[in-house]
Amino acid sequence: MRSALRRLRSQATAFTHDLLMVPVAWLGAFWLRFNLESVPSELWRLAVLYLPVVWVVQGVTFWYFGLYRGIWRFASVPDLIRIIKAVTFGVSIAGALIFGLTRLEGVPRSVFVLDAVLLIGLLGGPRLVYRWLKDRHLYIARGKRALIVGAGSGGEILVRDMLRDATSPYRPVALVDDDSNKHGRDLHGLPVEGPCDAIPALAKEYGAELVLVAIPSAGSRELRRIVAICERAGLAVRTLPPFHDLVSGNVGVKELRNVTIDDLLGREKVTLDWNAITGGLTGESILVTGGGGSIGSELCRQLARIKPAKLIVFERSEFGLYKIDLELRRQFPELVLESVLGDVSDRIGVDTVMREHRPSVVFHAAAYKHVPLLEHQARPAVLNNVLGTQVVADSADVHGAKTFVLISSDKAVNPANVMGATKRVAEIYCQHLAQFSKTRFVTVRFGNVLGSDGSVIPLFQEQIASGGPVTVTHPDITRYFMTIPEASQLILEAATVGKGGEIFVLDMGEPVKISYLAEQLILLSGKRPGDDIEIVYTGLRPGEKLYEELFHSSEQFRPTAHSKLMLASSRSIDSAALELGLVALRGSVQLGSEEQIRVALLALVPEHCSLPAGEAARLQTA
């Protein structure tokens, strides 16, 4: 009720103001007609005589054209257009009425044009001045002083939003843009001062406290450059999300967020052939092993969206299984979901699941992956990664699954550790089965996944939160990175396009220095590397390489129809030697001898190079 009364009072005040402007414009037009000198008395008498006609006509047209639907506080171009239409129409009607009454005898025709111009100025001017005063008040009084990067549409909308919002925590002081054509211009009263390289100097000149990046289309390379410039100036940085992450295309203060490591590492948005994916997987019964892990759980989320006939989640961790089961049942209440607690190396348990649920597609994500832990524990690594894969793959073959997707690792290429060697044996076995099975066996190989369980980023974040130091093994060590959703979606793509026997390699972009990763995470936490948080280099751990590879030298690279999927041509497999090698590997696991397990692994993967040359030669001849 109170808001309605306030609005009514506001409309009445605006209407009264506009009515008072009508005689000012009408009589002022006669005065202007005679160059601001005295108006002849007879003409002045006619002006006063016809004023009621003009007054009534203009009042009616003002209301008819909706001049009081808007709020003066937010007066803008549409309001000005309404004023022009109302005034033009009112002057035309008033002129026609006066002409009908007097044939305009003694009334200069130019008076009507001057009246329209004056009235538009007298109605529009106060509205715009009122808005400017309100915005200027906010601009002067509130928020942290912010430099805006980007004088395009994103910057314009962001600045406008900050000036309008009385609760905005930021106060824009100037803009920068690398487009030289925009330099020297104003945007909502703020100057576009120069390129991004000028940020340090401008920050001192304007007393800026932070930088807001208003370029939703900015790529990771551009964002890294801007962040590096801001770091030199000691300024915090916030950014708008990429356009594809903005809800309904909204751009504003509420969408601003801290720059994340994902932004700086920069993975281009993956564009998938969802028609092919849904056509190949919708309505199918699908099994995901390791469904409670980082990759497995995201696969389950993606699969749940495409409406499989049934989703079977197989996981050895009770808590991991509980979490993904709870999430899927809450988010996808119509999903037919079976959550099975089990171990991939348990042949009876795996066969039972295959027999009861008859999955047509199997995503094998279950694996041990922590390199240093596995390096001295080869037995559990082989039991889970090799023999577990063999159990699930054999069962998928026996029970008639249409597709089996093995999720492998770049560490399987020239493996320098036990983990990589076990994943390479798993690859070899799936390629072996693909030669004679009716099941399509497809392998997908990729590198480190941002934010996955046990990955380096959560470790660094914990170290930073505890005050450091951040431990990096070597200044020059590099790794490939991708996001969990990207990895999962590309796995789905490979599952639908694979014919069987292929190794698909995901395009990981450029490798990233781990030291750079550590520095950026420290900076993004608001601290300075070396001053607030120390980076300590601890030396390479057992089985760790300086850099990872995506292809073996004998695997020829071939592009696919999808720009993010590459194909590694498979190497020839000696099936008899593989069978003998697996028998030896299984026997060594049963005996529990770490040395014999390593001998068997080396026989299956001759390029396995985690051991010194002399020790490897000794094992090969043992």
| Rounded Cα gap, residues 438 and 403, in angstroms | 9
Per residue in 35-75, pLDDT (tens digit) is 667 767 776 777 777 778 777 877 778 777 766 655 444 45
Does 349 share its domain with 216?
A: no
Does 170 share its domain with 317?
A: no
In-domain check, residue 611:
no
In-domain check, residue 620:
no
Res. 496 pLDDT band, cuts 50 70 90: confident
Of 296-300, 519-523, 544-548, the range with the highest mean pLDDT is 296-300
Average pLDDT of the segment spanning 336-350: 94
What CATH code is carried by the domain that includes residue 506?
3.40.50.720
Does 29 share its domain with 75?
A: yes
In-domain check, residue 421:
yes
The residue from 369, 411, 545, 564 that is catalytic is: 411
Higher pLDDT, 232 or 265: 232
Lowest mean pLDDT among 29-43, 71-85, 225-239, 419-433: 71-85
| Rounded Cα gap, residues 352 and 109, in angstroms | 97
Higher pLDDT, 241 or 243: 241
In-domain check, residue 280:
yes
Flag whether pLDDT at 177 surpasses 70: yes
Per residue in 366-394, pLDDT (tens digit) is 999 888 888 889 999 999 999 999 999 99
Please give the pLDDT value at position 344. 94
Does 493 share its domain with 572?
A: yes
Residue in this structure with the two tokens 């430099």, named with its chain if needed: 147
Query: Among residues 408, 448, 407, which one has the least CA distance to residue 424?
Result: 408
Please give the pLDDT value at position 89. 81
Does 423 share its domain with 517?
A: yes
Does 374 share its domain with 513?
A: yes
Does 149 share its domain with 119?
A: no
Is the dihedral angle over the CA atoms 570, 576, 581, 582 positive or is it negative?
A: positive
In-domain check, residue 326:
yes
In-domain check, residue 81:
yes
Average pLDDT, the chain: 78
Please give the pLDDT value at position 253. 60
Average pLDDT of the segment spanning 244-260: 55
Does 238 share its domain with 309?
A: no
Q: Which amino acid is at 193?
A: E
Contacts for 25-31: CB closer than 8 Å, 24+ residues apart: 25/115, 25/118, 25/119, 25/122, 26/51, 26/54, 26/55, 26/115, 26/119, 27/51, 28/114, 28/118, 29/111, 29/112, 29/114, 29/115, 29/118, 30/108, 30/111
Res. 3 pLDDT band, cuts 50 70 90: very low
Q: Which amino acid is at 59?
A: G
Res. 363 pLDDT band, cuts 50 70 90: very high
Higher pLDDT, 120 or 139: 120
490 contacts: CB under 8 Å, gap ≥ 6: 270, 272, 444, 446, 506, 562, 564, 565
Higher pLDDT, 290 or 73: 290
Q: Which phi and psi angles does 543 have, rounded to 5°? A: 80, 5
Q: What is the dihedral of CA 279, 283, 284, 288, to 10 degrees?
A: 100
Residues 548, 411 contacting (CB under 8 angstroms): yes
Q: Which of 92, 110, 135 is the last residue of a domain?
A: 135
Flag whether pLDDT at 618 surpasses 90: no
Lowest mean pLDDT among 101-105, 250-254, 340-344, 349-353: 250-254
Does 411 participate in catalysis according to the annotation?
Answer: yes
Please give the pLDDT value at position 278. 73
Higher pLDDT, 415 or 128: 415
Flag whether pLDDT at 326 surpasses 50: yes
Q: Which helix (H) or strand (E) holds 73?
A: none
Q: Which phi and psi angles does 80 have, rounded to 5°? A: -65, -40
Q: Which of 259, 284, 319 is the last residue of a domain?
A: 259
Please give the pLDDT value at position 166. 66
Please give the pLDDT value at position 106. 62
* Joined tokens for residue 439: 């099941």
Of 24-28, 149-153, 240-244, 431-435, the range with the highest mean pLDDT is 431-435
Higher pLDDT, 58 or 336: 336
Is the backbone peptide bond immediately before 333 cis, with ω within 30 degrees of 0?
no
Higher pLDDT, 285 or 190: 285
Does 426 share its domain with 509?
A: yes
| Rounded Cα gap, residues 174 and 196, in angstroms | 12
Q: Tell me what percent of the residues of the chain surpass a pLDDT of 90.
A: 19
Lowest mean pLDDT among 4-8, 112-116, 409-413: 4-8
Domain that holds residue 422: 274-604
Please give the pLDDT value at position 77. 63
Total domains in the chain come to 3
Does 368 share its domain with 482?
A: yes
In-domain check, residue 118:
yes
Does 433 share its domain with 300?
A: yes
Does 348 share its domain with 497?
A: yes
Residues 226, 237 contacting (CB under 8 angstroms): yes
Res. 613 pLDDT band, cuts 50 70 90: very low
Lowest mean pLDDT among 81-90, 437-446, 500-509, 550-559: 550-559
| Rounded Cα gap, residues 38 and 202, in angstroms | 55
Flag whether pLDDT at 444 surpasses 60: yes
In-domain check, residue 221:
yes
Helix, strand, or coil (residue 599)? helix
Q: Which of 259, 291, 312 is the last residue of a domain?
A: 259
Residue in this structure with the two tokens 């028609």, named with its chain if needed: 275
* Joined tokens for residue 407: 């999720």
